[in-house]
Amino acid sequence: MAKVVREELIRQLADGQFISGQHLAEQLNVSRTAISKHVKVLTEMGLDIFSVQGKGYKLAQSITLLDSQKITNELTNLNRKNLIEVHSIIDSTNSYLMRRLPNNVTHGQTCVSEFQSAGRGRRGKEWISPFGSHLYLSMYWYLEQGMSAAMGISLVVGIAVSDVLQQEYELEVQLKWPNDIYVNGKKLAGILVELEGQSIGPGNCVIGLGLNINMPKQSADQIDQPWTDLSTELNHDVDRNMLSAQLIAKISERLEQHHQFGLAPMLDDWQRQDFFYNKQVKLLTGNKETRGICKGINSSGALLLEVNGKQQPIYGGEVSLRGV
C-alpha cells in the first residue's frame, strides 16, 4: 500500500505545480499525516519537495518520468523489439531480473527504474540511486554458447554506452577496465554483470547499467570518488526515455556482434578509449597489490598488465584497478 501511495504522489507532483495536502489525502484515501510522512520518505529518496502553507506540496523542479510506451516506440524506430518494464520504485533492477530467471524473462528483456532502494555496484558496493535523477537499467541476455560467452561482456557494454554518448551527444568518454565509464577522469557510469547457470550448457546473464544524469547534492555527498553526470558535461537536460531506447538498442547490437564474432573486432574501439592505456597502475586483489603498466585488453577481455617487462593477463573477479 505504501508503495502505491508513493508512486501516485510522484505522478501528481511530477509537473512541478503545487498540489494541496488535503486534495492528495482525499484522492489517495489516507490522512494528511500519512501524506506528510510519505513526502518525507520521497525526500529521502532524492526528490526535492517543499511545502508552502496554504498552497501545498511542490517539486523544486518538474521531472519527466520514464514511460515504457515512449521507450518502446523509440525502440521500434530503431528496429528493436526488446520487452520493456518501467518501475517507479524497486530494490534493484539486476535483482529483479535475477529473481525471474530462468523462465520468466525473454532474451533482451530490459527493466528500468526511477529509484533503487538497494542498488548494487561491483564488489558488493552500494550504487547511490536517487529518484528520477539517473538511469538504472538491466537487461537479460541468454548465453546460448554457455557461460564462457560471458567473458568480456562488461567491456562490450562499455563500448556500446560509449557509442551512444559519442554519436548522439558528441561526448568523448574513457573506458576503465573492467566496468566503468569516465569523462574527464571522473566516473559517469558503472556496469554490473551477473551470471546464472552451470559450467556446461547455456547460461543466463543479467547486465546492469547505472548512468549519472543529474546528481542531487544530497546524493553527491554520499559518493566517495570523483564523479560527473550528463547534465554537467552537456550543459543541457537529457531525455531519459530517448536515452534508454538508444542504450538498449546499441547494447543489443554490440552483444549480437560479440555473440557472432567475439571481442576481437572491438579491441581497437576499446584501446582508443582505454583510460589507463600505457599508464602506471596498481591492481588490488584482497590485501595484495601489484604494480605495472596497463597494456589494454586481449580478445578474452583480460587486462594486460606489464610487470618487469612481461605482460600477464588479469581476468575479472574481486580485483580493483587504480592509477598510481
Query: Is residue 322 annotated as a catalytic residue, yes or no?
Result: yes
Q: Which residues are annotated as a binding site for biotin?
A: 92-94, 116, 120-122, 187
Query: Is residue 187 annotated as a catalytic residue, yes or no?
Result: yes
Q: Which residue among the candidates 6, 70, 176, 187 is catalytic per the annotation? A: 187
CB neighbours of residue 25 within 10 Å: 16
Q: Which residue among the candidates 40, 125, 272, 322 is catalytic per the annotation? A: 322
What CA–CA distance (Å, rounded) separates 149 from 78?
26
Q: Which residues are annotated as a binding site?
A: 92-94, 116, 120-122, 187
In our burial notation (b when 16+ CB lie closer than 10 A, e otherwise), range 57-93 reads bbbeeebebbebebbbebbeebebebebbbbbbbbbb
Q: Which residue among the candidates 6, 122, 250, 254 is catalytic per the annotation? A: 122
Residue in this structure with the C-alpha cell 547455456, named with its chain if needed: 202
Catalytic residues: 122, 187, 322
